[in-house]
A and B are shown apart, each in its own frame.
Chain A
């Protein structure tokens, strides 16, 4: 075995983070781009321009999401079990919204009827905007704690309603997430198109960089002033068996800021987020879309890391029974499984990154309405 159990648990906190960031940076731009579809494009040809920048890639991008889900199942089965069943309707909402994407992309241009195409265009908007919004809302609720508990055989049960998830702080987090992915989508479209679509993408990216920044700063302020965090006061053994009921947790004002005080380097995350957002906005305006895209990817990474660092080592705090909160120390799989999974990640992640890069390079070109008119039958 390569690593001890404690290290493996930490590695999987990082790897789940990597998968989430990978998802937001890749699938994020096609979700964001689709969410902006009515603002980016004013007629059918223009909508096809936007959609065809993503056509060869959205499916591969979506696998980041699927793999993050699979990794959650394998590495943090307790989190997967408690979160998916507890947030039942939020998950169903995401799932049904995601249904629109494969069929929306693949079926919309197969028939000429404008009603058919408009209907699928709205499907793509829903498939892009709703998951982006719900993921942010989910994070907003994780930061506040989620009302779940365990029985003596560790069966999780959830004691809240779907509508309780839609509280003001969580909605603000939802807005941050939606605005951030929309920015990412706008810089992508700006980078890959020319003509009027590119111009609209540029002005949207400029605005969205700033709105995301304002919303992110507001959420940070709100978190600092009014959202109590959670703190472990007693945990027998970091390398011990994964049983969430063995530790003692308290809800403490300002606990979500403790890591920043203890490890000032973590402050780089919110700084990266802020600088990335400003840079994306500026570079998009200055017609440097590739750099704007990279900046927005950095901003996304910073925003996700900010949430992760604030909560570390918590993953899913329980507002009902604080001791039942799930942390990376007691929600993980057994050492054997984590070890196998680590090897799988070490082998496959570089291979995936390699061929993904090759695919993007092969399909790289700037497209406009002329491209659609030249290939009306072989494109989406």
Chain B
């Protein structure tokens, strides 16, 4: 028996485990690339300090990577354990990129990552550099395939419903891979990963510079991070704008919720910079609007309209009524009682079958839905506006803040004065949590904004869950929370310990805490 409690708990468990997983993913994506860059500099210049940089940042990479692997396992299990109808209904399409991710990306990344850590003395410099690049390549490929899978949930292309097997089936692999939403998401997401790693290195290097420790090491790290970060940050923002354009095209409800765009205004629509969305009254109080901008971002034109929420709800109500017809025909088809005319009619109406399934939440029979239930289902097709509106603005503000920090860091690094500006070092240091805030807010917008759909306009979230009891899910959810909390404590403890030690943790004898003369030197108990 599927109840709202089962659905809500399944969603909460997925959201928590996915968002937790994504604390580690962006740093892996970006840091793998930065390690490859640092090691390339080492191989080209032969300067030992770049090898030390690769090894030290690689140590922090390893601590982060372990939890990325751990929490990634949960994601693979969870589609089957908690979203079994989803797995059945779309596995034919959604499973393929996941399997190819394993074959093409995970194997590459995971097979070579062991050699990155343990192979320094067992192969030539150039071979080791190649290993490091393959790890970076593997992790980025993995992001490509997972975002193709996610892009399909947002905008399902290249697939068709088959009533005989009662599921979506792939009609074009090329369309799945070249899905414009997936492509834009991929570049936006990996760039965000590069930004995360750049901020990580920048902030920690700034910490050493502020403490006056290991300056040659910290300054070089800071310089690489500022250049890499500036390029990545510009790319995230430009590609984020590209996402906005894609949304205007294919995910109108999400865009309308982000913008609290209640009414369809004459083109080009104004962009609501800030305000207080009021879902009861369907208005935005105290709104500060910039004329034309939303229309330009979403449609790249001054004449196309951006649809408002009220109009979208009316459109969806029509599609839900169509979907009821499709659902009725589906039952006849499955019972083998449909005439040829009904078969043809089903093919015509099946694009709206998903809208019909939306009614499962309100009445298990679907076709007996009352006008009241249909109207309610139509209203529920718009994701909750307040959280969307704010999460989006938090993400964008974080992005521009990081752009500012990178621009200043890069400018002053180029002028060789950055490390003499404590205000800049302090600003860089306090920016440390910002990329994580931006990533989590961004994923919240992407996935909360997909509601009420598990797969856009195809399969409602309500219908996608496994047949489990609320108590079972609650129990596993509590276990996840306990276990993940414990892991977080351990990870943060190790991270801060190695960050405080800095490159001295390499035991080369060249760094701060290993210098006899250093007044603040203290004995280290850390080994590896």
The interface residues of chain B lying within 8 Å CB-to-CB of A349 are 103
The interface residues of chain A, by DSSP majority, are classed as helix
Q: Cβ of A109: which chain B residues have Cβ within 8 Å of it? A: 527-528
CB distance from B8 to the nearest CB of A (A): 17
Instruction: Tell me if B302 is interfacial: C-beta within 8 Å of chain A.
Output: no
Contacts of A96 in B (CB 8 A): 479, 483
Query: B517 contacts the other chain (Cβ, under 8 Å)?
Result: no
B233 CB-CB contact with A under 8 Å:
no
CA distance A348 to B96 in the complex (A): 14
Does B507 contact A59, Cβ atoms closer than 8 Å?
no
Whether B81 contacts A337 by the Cβ 8 Å rule is: no
Task: With CB as the reference atom, state the residue of chain A lying closest to B176.
Answer: A340
Q: Is B375 close to A, CB under 8 A?
A: no
Q: Which of B93, B164, B167, B490 has the most CB of A within 10 A?
A: B167
A81 lies within 8 A of B99 (CB): no
Could you say which of B110-118, B380-388, B397-405, B429-437 contacts chain A? B110-118
A359, CB-defined interface residue at 8 Å: yes
Whether A84 contacts B111 in the complex (CB less than 8 A), given A70-B98, A102-B67, A333-B92, comes out as no
B73 touching A66 by the CB < 8 A rule?
A: yes
- Please indicate the chain A residues that have their CB under 8 angstroms from the CB of B110 in the complex: 59-60, 62-63
Let me know if B171 is at the binding interface, CB within 8 A: yes
Chain B contacts of A344 at CB under 8 A? 96, 99-100, 103-104
8 A Cβ contacts from B119-141 to A: 119-120, 122-123
Within 8 A of A (CB), among B64-102: 65-67, 69-70, 73-74, 76-77, 79-82, 84-85, 87-88, 91-96, 98-102
Selected from B80, B169, B506, the residue in CB contact (under 8 A) with A84 is B80
- One digit per residue, 1 when the CB lies within 8 angstroms of any chain B CB and 0 when it does not, for chain A 44-68 equals 0000000000011111101100110
Residues of A within 8 A of B407 (CB): none
Asked whether any CB of chain B lies closer than 8 Å to the CB of A256, the reply is: no
B interface footprint on A204-223 (CB within 8 Å = 1, 0 otherwise): 00000000000000000000
Report whether B526 and A95 are in contact in the complex, using a CB–CB cutoff of 8 Å.
no
Structural contact, B169 and A377, CB atoms closer than 8 A: no
State A335–B419 Cα separation when bound (angstroms). Answer: 61
Cβ of B84 and Cβ of A156 under 8 Å apart? yes
The docked-state distance in angstroms from the alpha carbon of A109 to that of B62 is: 13
Is A10 an interface position by the 8 A CB rule?
no
What residue of chain A has the Cβ atom nearest to residue B73's Cβ? Answer: A98
**Bound-complex Cα distance A55 to B122 (A):** 14
Given known A-B contacts A99-B70, A359-B112, A336 and B169 have beta carbons under 8 A apart? yes
Given contacts A158-B467, A362-B122, contact A63 B106 (CB under 8 A): yes
The answer to whether the Cβ of A85 comes within 8 Å of any Cβ in the partner chain is yes
Tell yes or no: A82 within 8 A of B by CB.
yes
Residue B466 at the A interface, CB < 8 A? yes
Task: State whether B167 touches A55 (Cβ < 8 A).
Answer: no
Q: From A70, A84, A359, A376, give the contact of B527 (CB < 8 A).
A: A376
Contact A78 B164 (CB under 8 A): no
Residue pair B111, A73 in contact (C-beta under 8 Å): no
Q: What interface size band does chain A fall in?
A: 35 or more
Q: Does B12 contact A (CB under 8 A)?
A: no
A85 CB to nearest chain B CB (Å) = 4
The yes or no answer to B166 lying at the interface (CB within 8 A) is: yes
Q: Which of B476-528 contact A (CB under 8 A)?
A: 476, 479, 483, 487, 490, 494, 498, 506-507, 525-528
Partner of B114, one of A74, A359, A377: A359
With both chains docked as a complex, state the minimum distance between the C-beta of B370 and any C-beta of chain A, in angstroms. Answer: 22
The reply to whether A103 and B99 contact each other, CB–CB distance below 8 Å, is no
B91 touches A80 (CB 8 A): yes
A73 and chain B: residue at smallest CB distance? B95
- Check B417 for interface membership: any CB of A closer than 8 A: no
B87 touches A84 (CB 8 A): yes
A18 at interface by CB-CB < 8 Å: no
In the assembly, what is the distance between CA of A335 and CA of B470, in Å? Answer: 37
Q: Is the CB of B118 within 8 A of A111?
A: no
Task: Report the Cα distance A333→B90, complex, angstroms.
Answer: 10
CB atoms of B99 and A75 under 8 A apart: yes
Q: Given the complex, which residues of A lie within 8 Å of B507, measured CB to CB?
A: 377
Asked, given contacts A81-B85, A105-B66, A155-B467, whether A95 binds B80 with beta carbons under 8 Å apart, the answer is: no
Any B CB within 8 A of the CB of A83: yes
- CB neighbours of B120 from chain A (8 A): 378
State whether A110 and B528 are in contact (beta carbons under 8 Å apart), knowing that A75-B95, A78-B88 are contacts in the complex: yes
Whether A102 contacts B93 by the Cβ 8 Å rule is no
Beta-carbon contact of A59 and B69 below 8 Å: yes
CB within 8 A of A95: which of B67, B77, B99, B123? B77
Find chain A residues with CB under 8 A from B98 CB: 70, 73-74
Tell yes or no: B278 within 8 A of A by CB.
Answer: no
Q: Which of A97-143 contact B (CB under 8 A)?
A: 98-99, 101-103, 105-107, 109-112
- Report Cα–Cα, A276/B107, bound state, in Å: 28
Residues of B close to A57: CB separation below 8 A: 111, 114
Tell whether, in the assembled complex, residue A102 and residue B171 are in contact, meaning their CB atoms are under 8 Å apart: no
| Residue in chain B with minimal CB distance to A95 | B77
Does B23 belong to the interface (CB within 8 Å)? no
Contact B527–A56 (Cβ < 8 Å): no
Q: B468 at the A/B interface (Cβ < 8 Å)?
A: yes
Least distance between A281 CB and chain B CB atoms (Å): 30
- Answer yes or no: B411 CB below 8 A from chain A CBs: no
In angstroms, Cα B85 to Cα A336, docked, is 21
* Inter-chain contact A379/B528, CB cutoff 8 Å: yes
Instruction: Return the contact of A243 from the options B115, B165, B525 (Cβ within 8 A).
Output: B165
Kindly state the separation between the CA atoms of A186 and B100 in the bound complex, as whole angstroms: 33
Please determine whether B91 and A333 come into contact, CB atoms closer than 8 angstroms: yes
Q: Which residue of B lies closest to A158 (CB)?
A: B467
Contacts of A5 in B (CB 8 A): none
A78 CA to B77 CA in the complex, in Å?
Answer: 14
Q: Is the CB of A85 within 8 A of B122?
A: no
Q: Mark B159-178, 1 if CB is under 8 A from A, else 0.
A: 00010111101110100000
Query: In the complex, what residues of B have CB within 8 A of residue A105's CB?
Result: 66
4 closest A-B pairs by beta carbon, nearest first, are A77-B91, A84-B80, A74-B95, A56-B114
Q: List 8 A-B contacts (CB under 8 A).
A: A62-B69, A63-B102, A70-B98, A77-B88, A78-B88, A99-B70, A102-B66, A333-B169
- List 8 other contacts, CB 8 Å, given A109-B527, A334-B162: A56-B119, A70-B98, A84-B77, A85-B468, A98-B70, A352-B111, A359-B114, A377-B506
User: Taking beta carbons and an 8 Å cutoff, which residues of A are in contact with B?
Assistant: 55-60, 62-63, 66-67, 69-71, 73-75, 77-78, 80-85, 88-89, 91-92, 95-96, 98-99, 101-103, 105-107, 109-112, 152-158, 241-243, 333-334, 336-337, 340-341, 344-345, 348-349, 352, 355-356, 359, 362-363, 376-380
Contact surface of B with A, Cβ cutoff 8 Å: 62-63, 65-67, 69-70, 73-74, 76-77, 79-82, 84-85, 87-88, 91-96, 98-104, 106-108, 110-115, 117-120, 122-123, 162, 164-167, 169-171, 173, 331, 334, 466-468, 472, 476, 479, 483, 487, 490, 494, 498, 506-507, 525-528
